[in-house]
A and B are shown apart, each in its own frame.
Chain A
């Protein structure tokens, strides 16, 4: 018998990177199911394609390009791939997703050193890259087709709720998109952003499993709500209601699953609150005053860049530290 000599602690939690990523994937399952219901099987195909091809691309980068031996399918690339797919319009061609995956994993993740080292959320980098490079394909929105076998391109082309708000004003937007539809997902938009309700369900699962804390989503959505409330008082027709803003667009997907990305968000609760507030403010500035109708992706990426500064500025209080 050989006894091992090693340092304390001698027991470790059963949690691993893989178990965390698996829970994130599981948390996204309801959103994928609802997307499949509203946009058809092609949406499901894109989601699976993103997750599976994402892992394969990561395997190729790690084993072949970076020549590292210790590759294990930790599922982080599957999460990135799935989230990227969910950030695309339901009509996006598969090769568009492939390009996005290559950018997300190759550039945003592995050029920075791989898991844990990236500054920006890889899925969002992939999405914004596609948005800039293929603006038409990336904004080809359709109304829900309802029914698993129908294809999104069978549906009518449709603007998103935020697009209508920007173009035609709030009374037009709320006429076409009711709050109930916005909440449950019977509206056009990206694959994964359609239903705030199921995204919330998935997030609650992560909360119950203690994988995340609610600071970033709460401050993010709260800031959007607060910002929108003020603007509503300024000009209701132009800026819309606060409830409309929190239910429309990619806010729930972004606040619950993108901004909360562990690698690219701050390390302390205070820092996370600042991060969430920043995301909310930038989102609303873009939505209401900039050229794009939606600002979630850009807001999160911008705040990602500030994380090192936030981490430096907001540290936890050391127990028993005497104020000087």
Chain B
């Protein structure tokens, strides 16, 4: 069978065997949850609770702070203990978080809307917005915004991203096996919202069981399950769209510019939960994995659960644990403390063991980064220009097209950290340009 794919990329050791056969376990809600007001891309939410307020599970505790922002709900039934600043791993600085102490079993406050079949497109979008759903693949972009493209953009294709190309992570794989019916129903809801006739679920070839399971479920629908080549970054939005539809998202453009909307598997399931089961987003499934964790597994945990609690649940860290990553090893964020809570977009906790520090060498122009860059960039050149602070020239060479997948640094035999410098160059350029205006 022909496997759909894109040009470039690489294939790091998958390491999915650590957790891929572990069925999802539901973790008991912790006694304390720490919910960042910035639990999504865009403006942080505005708190609507005060200290000592009692809250129910699913009760709104934060309202959107802007157009690109999202509602926030209490993950547990309990009392708001304080609203305080805590180090935010994605933002990289202290940000406000609501600390809630759990006082009893879940007393749910469900979303309040009628049967989903009777809802209009606008009402469905409102439900999704009220449920606080954001992209659960990691980007945390508010879903109601993404599903509501501006007038003039016609969407004809909806794609579910089931590639899960990050090494180690297996949560989407488990969801596609264990919650496939919810996923399919979620796809149908999204298709109704977008008004598309066609939807695809893209699954990498290293998840054949999930592919075949979904294929059976979708056999008599307009949802086509397609098999993708196992390659990193197959799940990057632009690469995924190209592999499945042969359309190229223009540089600086968005998927909607080529008539496509992409959602991660778990996001679609969350939409089904909100629309059909009336549950706002207060928990997520994630993989706890890596060589340096005692019992790699896939869990369902409340938003705001700390890494420490998750790690304990997975049998604790091994002695040689050296790096703890929120997310997968290619794009995740390394953190050096365990008291941080997971966010809506935390798809995994990956703990790596000690490895000899790679010897850094100058670039030997081996061309690996150029050949492997899925965006057709020349990472070695962007690295050089970034280091020389030639920002304008770097932009001319396509700096802004970089999707920060990290393939260049992964493949480099000289162990050069291209992507770190490229990300920094982008930030500095944007700051400088912003200053000029």
Q: Which residues of A contact B (CB under 8 A)?
A: 1-13, 15-17, 19-20, 70, 72, 74, 76, 114-117, 213, 262-265, 267-269, 315-322
Contacts and interface: CB of A to CB of B under 8 A. Distances in A.
Nearest to A15: B413
Interface string B359-396: 10111111110110111111011000000000000000
| Interface of B (DSSP majority class) | loop
A162 to B, nearest CB: 31
B238 to A, nearest CB: 6
Contacts of A321: 250-251, 376, 398, 401
Contacts, number: 162
A12 B333 contact: no
A322 to B, nearest CB: 5
A8 B377 contact: no
B55 interface: no
B370 A316 contact: yes
B45 to A, nearest CB: 27
Majority secondary structure of chain A interface residues (helix, strand, loop or mixed): loop
Q: What are the nearest 4 A-B pairs in CB distance?
A: A9-B406, A116-B362, A7-B420, A10-B329
The number of chain B residues touching the other chain, given as a range, is: 35 or more
Contact of B365 (A70, A267, A319): A267
Contacts of B410: 9, 11-13
Contacts of A8: 325, 329-334, 406, 409, 419-420
B321 A317 contact: no
A117 B362 contact: yes
Nearest to A16: B413
Given A320-B253, A322-B250, 14 more contacts: A1-B321, A2-B336, A4-B323, A12-B358, A13-B412, A15-B413, A17-B361, A20-B413, A116-B414, A267-B378, A268-B367, A317-B376, A319-B251, A319-B375
A3 B381 CA distance: 32
Interface of B: 6-7, 10, 12-13, 167, 238, 242, 248-251, 253, 317, 319, 321-325, 329-337, 350, 352, 358-359, 361-368, 370-371, 373-378, 380-381, 397-398, 401, 406, 409-415, 417, 419-420, 423
A319 B412 contact: no
A321 B398 CA distance: 9
A4 B358 contact: no
28 contacts: A1-B319, A2-B336, A4-B322, A4-B334, A7-B334, A8-B332, A9-B419, A11-B330, A12-B358, A15-B413, A20-B364, A72-B359, A74-B361, A213-B371, A262-B366, A265-B365, A267-B381, A315-B397, A316-B373, A316-B376, A316-B378, A317-B376, A318-B375, A318-B398, A319-B6, A319-B242, A319-B375, A320-B238
Given A3-B334, A11-B12, A11-B330, A16 B420 contact: no
Given A16-B359, A16-B415, A9 B376 contact: no
Contacts of A116: 361-365, 414
Given A267-B367, A319-B375, A3 B337 contact: yes
A318 B377 contact: yes
A262 B367 contact: yes
Contacts of B325: 8, 10
Nearest to A320: B248
B361 A13 contact: no
Contacts of A264: 365
Residue among A13, A316, A317, A319 facing the most chain B CB atoms (10 A cut-off): A319
